[in-house]
């Protein structure tokens, strides 16, 4: 499953606080959601932390976000490892990411590489269209004939190709946009748009979204199937 963490700046504006306060509050909400997902047995969780389009934001805001992510990685690396969480970053090869942060990201990925409790992916500097372009470039470099390209082969050339298709996407703040997020993997995802701004989205709203998902019927373009029941321990992607 995946979360588009939307609403940090609006949360701060409604409280007459600087935007950075919203981002700090959003960091705390993200940690709560990670723990909640792990506690109910979610096996794959992706958090949309920073998009390829977010580089167009004011420079001081971008610099603050880079520092916030770096402090989060450094502060929580050992705790995430102790919980058996494998941590990965989608898009973090962007050269605009500060070198020190790239080193810390690599260290966290290496530290947690063998963990199998839950795979946590931070989409950081990520853009879905960019991923599709990378896959096409990889196929071309491999010299694969056009007529040999299948959906399965194309997916194998995407970044982090072992990531399963997403079952559920939660986008907070009531906004209803894809925002160039994991375009290939969300093709048949269910979407839920809770009204809470991300800093207000903690354990209880998260569990409510899982409950709503469990009552949906997933059709995948065919006849109705049974509801997407989500018991504890489910391998939700």
Q: What is the pLDDT of residue 227?
A: 56
Report H helices in 44-83. Answer: 59-82
103 burial type by CB count under 10 A (0-12 exposed, 13-18 middle, 19+ buried) = exposed
Spatial separation of the C-alpha atoms in residues 71 and 62, rounded to whole Å? 14
Identify the band that residue 221 occupies on the pLDDT scale cut at 50, 70 and 90: confident
May I ask the CATH class of domain 2-126+163-213? alpha beta
Spatial separation of the C-alpha atoms in residues 101 and 62, rounded to whole Å? 13
Strands 168-171 and 190-192: parallel
What tokens does 119 get? 């795979």
Mean pLDDT value of segment 179-206? 97
Q: What is the pLDDT of residue 231?
A: 44
User: 209 near 194, Cβ under 8 Å?
Assistant: yes
The terminus-to-terminus CA distance of the chain in angstroms comes to 4
pTM of this prediction? 0.91
Mean pLDDT value of segment 191-201? 98
The model's pLDDT over 146-187, given as tens digits with 9 standing for 90+, comes to 999 999 999 999 999 999 999 999 999 999 999 999 999 999
Q: What is the pLDDT of residue 230?
A: 54
Residue 42 has pLDDT above 70, yes or no: yes
Q: What is the pLDDT of residue 233?
A: 44
Residues belonging to the active site: 6, 54
Q: What is the pLDDT of residue 20?
A: 96
Residue 224 has pLDDT above 70, yes or no: no
Spatial separation of the C-alpha atoms in residues 11 and 22, rounded to whole Å? 6
């Amino acid at each position: 499953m995946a979360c588009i963490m939307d609403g940090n700046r609006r949360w701060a504006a409604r409280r007459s606080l600087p935007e950075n306060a919203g981002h700090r509050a959003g960091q705390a909400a993200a940690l709560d959601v990670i723990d909640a997902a792990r506690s109910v047995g979610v096996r794959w969780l992706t958090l949309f932390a920073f998009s390829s389009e977010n580089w167009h934001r004011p420079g001081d805001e971008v610099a603050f976000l880079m520092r916030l992510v770096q402090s989060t990685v450094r502060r929580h690396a050992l705790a995430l490892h102790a919980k058996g969480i494998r941590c990965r970053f989608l898009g973090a090869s962007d050269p605009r990411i500060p070198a020190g942060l790239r080193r810390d990201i690599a260290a966290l990925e290496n530290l947690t590489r063998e963990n199998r409790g839950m795979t946590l992916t931070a989409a950081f500097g990520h853009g879905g269209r960019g991923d599709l372009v990378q896959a096409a470039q990889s196929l071309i470099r491999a010299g694969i004939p056009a007529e040999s390209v299948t959906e399965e082969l194309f997916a194998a050339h995407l970044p982090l190709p072992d990531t399963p298709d997403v079952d559920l996407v939660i986008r907070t703040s009531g906004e209803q946009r894809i925002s160039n997020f994991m375009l290939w993997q969300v093709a048949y995802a269910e979407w839920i748009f809770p009204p809470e701004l991300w800093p207000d989205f903690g354990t209880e709203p998260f569990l409510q979204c899982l409950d709503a998902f469990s009552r949906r019927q997933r059709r995948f373009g065919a006849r109705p199937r049974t509801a997407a029941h989500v018991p504890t321990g489910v391998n939700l992607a």
